Amino acid sequence: MKIIGSRTCVPVIFRVTLSALFSALLTVVIIGAAALSQPTEKRIIGYFTSWSVYVRDYHVPDIPADMISQINYAFANIDNSAGTIILGDEYADTQKWYPGDSWHPDSLRGSFHQLQIIKANYPYVKTLISVGGWTWSTYFSNVALTEESRHIFAQSCMEFITEYTFDGVDIDWEYPVSGGLPTNITRPEDRENFTFLLEELREQLDSLETANGQEYLLTIAAPANPEIIANIEVEVIHQYLDWINIMTYDFHGPWMGPPDLVTNFNSPLYIVPEDPTPEPYHSSFNLDAAVSAYLSYDVPEGKLHPGLAFYGRGFGSVANYNNGLYADYNGPCWQGTWEAGVFDYWDIAANYQDVNGYTSYWNDDAKVPWVFNPNTGVMISYDNPASIWEKGIYINQQNLAGAMFWEFSADRDSVLLATIYDALESGATPPTVSLELTPHNPPIVIPEEGGSFDFNITAVNNTGEPQTVDFWTIAVLPDSTEIDILYAPNFTMNGNQTIDRNRTQRIPPAAPGGEYGYIGYVGDHETGEIMDSDYFSFIKEGSFFIGDYNSGWFNTGESFKRNAWESIVPSEIELYPAYPNPFNQETILSFSLQKTAKVKLVIYSVTGREIIGLYDGWKPAGVHNVKFDASNLPNGIYFVRLTSRGFHQTQKLLLIK
């Protein structure tokens, strides 16, 4: 299980119960020490829906504008008789009253006025009017049909964005030629007419720029399905666009069609070899494949934004098989946040993630989670902070322009938005050398008289250059003390090399009973810099006799270039960043000592009141880990303070259940 996702390279562990391994263990570190006050250099584009202001009770002032760069307002409609853009919801868009609005008949109110206020307070935020969408793409084929119809429609868009002070137009035609609602008007010539329409819009936007001295943007919401991508002249249209937002979600859902014969993932990052879906869907229905498709048309990386789903898809009557994944089902479940089979992320986190009979799982190929309740037969595929972080890493690694997401109200607490913000702002990428520990035949249970288990160490050099690294492992005892085991220094890996080592770990009879953590690290052992780490757990049954349990931890097997057995002594006292942070119920606090010392580790409230004394006593030199169980504490901000021989260091913690 991967245990490090932080920009800060420190040795940390994350101990969780087996029932939560696929969710809590993979919960990503969200660096929260500094306020999110500046936008990331990467773009973060969020859709705000006009209907959010009704039962969802989410409004433009609720948008965390310090974490975004663009707001796409969904949606404007098309007047077929006039061939022009029109308001989608006149009341929500321009009439709904907010505090501070004027009642003068000529005054602008509604969400459009609130967008103007956001732009005044956050000048770097751009707003675009999004036209169409799934429901209102009915007449795109008509307005794109002739030179005259394209000119009329584009001219109406210029008047619209001028009147309501938008910074551009986002065309969400779902879809040219075929693939949308059966009631849509479609024609075979939609493919080339879409290109002509975008060309006309670009020309008129450029003229408006010249007249007003302001930059105007033209973007599209683009399909991820290769069968629909084929109906767009991608290789031509990108020259007219500032960027392309790829709708890399709804790959699968409870729709019972050929791609959806069994339960599957809404928005997988990568292909899953075990996915039983037939081709071409098996290989192409994932974010990486969709991005690769657009890159194959020579679209610059700096114009591409993969889409993130801040919602989940729920399958109903799911067979109790394979924890609900790739299982038979019968349509959408009747449950949902606002409609059957569709769940906002905040709702999933509060009511379905390891509560109410649901269990969270994680697929390490797709890099996404799901939850399943065998009693209700409901499986929900969704994204959580861990999967959003993985997609942020992908965006950075591929040097893409940023991310788009659907939509603000589904993440009303901004948990997922903060995650993608932090991932893009940090420039998080795969580690220089990645590490994976794979135990053979888990779960591992060692009898009280001692025994051994086999495991594999896999390391990958993710660069094209040679890397010289150290490998080491430790065992974390039930009382959180540590045993230093394997130390293999100065191992040189060639560029892009993968190595595998099968090892056997002996557990001595005197080892106390309980749950252990087994952690592997790769990096620079002397400086303490961690490139990557991994973790699995095992159980030791009782203690065979009283004695020295620090000896007898023999580790043998396929050798590294060189092995050495040394103790690990840090160079200074330090309190490392908690992992995870923010956290849900449990987090691990790690600190280092360069020699034996008395230490005190205390949790304080935001008012400075002592809440819990986690440790008060002597610790030997080394790196130590202490679990903070906050399951009985309310959500909020806490502080942990480490003191030792005049040294003190404090760190902020954020508890989110």
Which are the catalytic amino acids? Answer: 174
Coil, strand or helix: which one is 130? strand
Say which residues have a Cβ less than 8 Å from residue 189's Cβ, sequence separation at least 6.
Answer: 145
Cα gap 441→439, rounded to integer Å: 6
Cα gap 471→523, rounded to integer Å: 7
Give the Å distances, CA to CA, from 474 to 116, 410, 452, 516, 554.
Answer: 56, 41, 15, 10, 12
Cα gap 261→253, rounded to integer Å: 10
Cα gap 369→371, rounded to integer Å: 7
Token couple for 553: 């931890």
State the angle between helix axes of 385-397 and 415-426 in degrees (0 to 180), rounded to the nearest 10.
30
Cα gap 7→446, rounded to integer Å: 35
Q: Are 401 and 303 in contact (CB under 8 A)?
A: yes
Q: Is cis: bond before 443, omega within 30 of 0? A: yes
The HSE-up count of residue 637 (CA atoms within 13 Å, CB side) is: 8
Cα gap 119→542, rounded to integer Å: 64
Q: Identify residue 515 by its one-letter amino acid code.
A: E
Cα gap 192→28, rounded to integer Å: 44
Q: What is the largest CA-CA distance in the chain?
A: 91
Cα gap 379→252, rounded to integer Å: 13
Cα angle, residue 376 at apex, residues 372 and 382 outer, rounded to 5°:
30
State the angle between helix axes of 190-212 and 147-163 in degrees (0 to 180), rounded to the nearest 10.
40
Pick the closest to residue 563 from 471, 494, 647 (CA basis): 471
Token couple for 541: 């049954």
Which spans in 370-486 are helix H? Answer: 385-397, 415-426
Token couple for 185: 């008007």
Say which residues have a Cβ less than 8 Å from residue 25's Cβ, sequence separation at least 6.
Answer: 1, 3, 14, 16, 362, 535
The HSE-up count of residue 375 (CA atoms within 13 Å, CB side) is: 5
Any idea which residue has 């992992």 for tokens? 579
